[in-house]
Amino acid sequence: MNRIKQFLKNPKTELFFAAVLLFTGIFIRAYHFGMIPVGVHQDEAMAAVDARALAEYGTDRFGMRYPVHFTAWIGGQMSVLLSYCMMPFIKLLGFSTFSIRLPMLIVSCLGLLALYLLGRQTGGKELAVAATVLGIICPWHYMQSRWAFDCNMFPHVFLFGVCFLIAGMKKKLFLMISMVFFGLCSYCYGVANYSVPLFLVIMAVCLFRLHQVNWKELSVCILVYFITALPEFLTMFINMFGMESIETPFFTIPYFPQSMRSKDILLLNFSWEQLGKNLLRTFSVVWGNGDKSATNTIVKFGPVYYLTVGFFVPGLLVVLGKIRKEEEAKKRIPYIVLLVWLFMGIWVGIVTREVTINRINIIFYPVLLIAGVGIVWCIRKWKLLVIPVGGAYAVLAMLFARNYFGEWADVSRIYYYEPYINALNYAKTISCDYYYITPDPQGEGVTMVGEILTMYCHEIDAAYYQGISNIQNGAEVLPFQERYRFQDVTKEIVEENQGRSVVYLIRAPEVGLFPSEEYEISSFYDAYFVVRGR
């Protein structure tokens, strides 16, 4: 028995088990990676198209030089960090679903490593293992790691900052490094601009009162954070006051005249009714069945499993007890961080309209860690619980995997536009002068979705899109705006294009416009059809 205890206490043993855990997390995330979700989401296509333009020209697809915030959907902008991370993979591996999703996979796996380290810093090896296992099998963490959505960078980059923040209590250099990561959060997701500063202010007060930092260290931290986040904050400032874009030799701070993003912030459009809805929605999304969006949640499991919610409550009580009773300041700080982080996540839910898993994703890491605290406490109190708890999570993980690679994979075809994308890819193989493409696969009047998915599938060159060049895929063709027509096809359009080299991508109701003896019609799931003259 003593030999077993010595073996378990050996640092090399811990390193081995930690490596096994992380390898397991990486392996199950890499399984069939790039194939599921099936298709491509419009937001990852948008991020990828701009990343490709940056990799080739140093501009976004509109020609803006290294923007600190993307124009993206014209009225709805997009954060840039994920696209900048895509650039080297596009250069090395080419432009594909695999290469554009790879950065998110890598960052998420690093997030598992950071989760282990933070658990280790907070409650020792037991919490590190419990939290990491929860992260590995967590539906939210698994699903977000396998597709490329810009806002999903936020929780991971913030987690890296938290790890360095706590490590900075022993070595102050790490404290400064943490500020860089907190500053980078502003380039991950817009909500970071009104949530991370709140977290940092509260933590600065706590650390100063606990005599863990002095005025000089606080001043340096503020400076590092401010310099890192400054271009993004300037973007907010010039858009708030309608000022012109700022162009520097290295990057552009853009003004967006058609921006509608301010409508997403409750503080700028306050109503008591919306506040109540946000509160209820926050708790139902995080601790309930998620946002019921097929891209983010499998409802029968919830974002973190419903079982995890049961351990969150005792875990939260333990965290509060540690903060109140722990005498040594350095041991209290990780628990204070967890509590403030949780509060920050709730704050995001309260002040952000239409709370979704993506918009409140910053809260899930502290939820997992606090639930891990609860699991460790329960198992320490009733040691035999380790068997049913471990067994229950093993069953949940297997059921989730079965659903994700089975029923959900089939559902993802719809939400990631696989029929439309297959039709676009087939249309790309046909030589023609003009394309008429049904513009709104989303079916909600968002016509830009069709254009951005076409740019992704047809690998539209940024210079060609801007009208600077008429060279596309090595051949001279008509200008983009003339060659690609994003509109529903009518009888008049068909008659007008008689005798011209035209390819149509249409919906089922429009098939009747094309006599089968005159046109070759290819079906894609009977949802979209590619039509060309015989």
Residue 472 banded pLDDT, cuts 50, 70, 90: confident
Residue 453 has which token pair? 């998915």
The pLDDT value given to residue 518: 84
d(CA 68, CA 252): 6
Single out the residue of 114, 116, 96, 88 nearest to residue 33, CA to CA. 96
The pLDDT value given to residue 75: 66
Rounded average pLDDT over 139-149? 93
**Angle formed at CA 102 by CA 100 and CA 104, multiple of 5 degrees:** 95
How many C-alpha atoms does 63 have within 13 Å on its Cβ side? 7
CA distances (Å), 522 to each of 243, 316, 455, 514, 528, in order? 50, 57, 21, 12, 9
Q: Which has the minimum average pLDDT: 234-243, 255-264, 434-443? A: 255-264
Bridge-based pairing state of the strands 246-247 and 484-486: unpaired
The pLDDT value given to residue 239: 84
Among all chains, which residue has been given the structure tokens 């090896």? 125
Mean pLDDT is highest, among 159-163, 378-382, 504-508, for: 159-163
The pLDDT value given to residue 5: 47
Residues 6+ apart with CB under 8 A from 3: none
Query: Regarding predicted confidence, which is higher, 441 or 1?
Result: 441
d(CA 462, CA 52): 8
The pLDDT value given to residue 119: 93
261-306: pLDDT as tens digits? 555 565 556 666 667 777 788 877 877 777 777 788 888 888 999 9
CB 356 within 8 A of CB 297: no
Residue 57 has which token pair? 């020209």
CB 419 within 8 A of CB 44: no
d(CA 31, CA 39): 16
Residue 8 banded pLDDT, cuts 50, 70, 90: very low
The pLDDT value given to residue 443: 72
Strand partners, 486: 437
Q: Name the DSSP class of 439.
A: -
367-411: pLDDT as tens digits? 999 999 999 999 988 888 889 998 999 999 999 999 999 888 888
CB 189 within 8 A of CB 121: no
Residue 147 has pLDDT above 70, yes or no: yes
Name the percent of the chain lying above pLDDT 90: 51
CB 339 within 8 A of CB 320: yes
165-193: pLDDT as tens digits? 999 998 989 999 999 999 999 999 988 98
> Which phi and psi (to 5°) does residue 406 adopt?
-115, -95
d(CA 357, CA 336): 24
CA distances (Å), 486 to each of 75, 87, 103, 326, 372, in order? 19, 28, 31, 64, 50
CA distances (Å), 104 to each of 28, 84, 157, 263, 298, in order? 14, 12, 11, 28, 20
CB 508 within 8 A of CB 526: yes
DSSP string, 26-68: HHHHHTTTTTSS-S--HHHHHHHHHHHHHHHHSB-TT--BSBS
Residue 3 has pLDDT above 60, yes or no: no
What's the predicted TM-score (pTM) here?
Answer: 0.92
Residue 1 has pLDDT above 50, yes or no: no
Residue 161 banded pLDDT, cuts 50, 70, 90: very high
55-83: pLDDT as tens digits? 999 999 998 999 998 887 776 788 999 99
Residue 250 has pLDDT above 60, yes or no: yes
Q: Which has the minimum average pLDDT: 46-50, 174-178, 286-290, 514-518? A: 286-290
Which stretches within 405-526 are classed as H helix?
Answer: 407-415, 418-428, 448-457, 462-466, 480-483, 491-496
Residues 6+ apart with CB under 8 A from 151: 79, 188, 189, 191, 358, 359, 361
Burial class (CB in 10 A: 0-12, 13-18, 19+), 377: buried
CA distances (Å), 70 to each of 44, 100, 172, 261, 459, in order? 13, 17, 34, 12, 19
Single out the residue of 177, 131, 70 nearest to residue 369, CA to CA. 131
State the chain's maximal CA–CA distance in angstroms. Answer: 88
The pLDDT value given to residue 58: 92
Handedness of CA 425, 426, 427, 431 (dihedral sign): positive
Mean pLDDT of the chain, nearest integer: 88
Burial class (CB in 10 A: 0-12, 13-18, 19+), 414: middle
d(CA 368, CA 387): 20
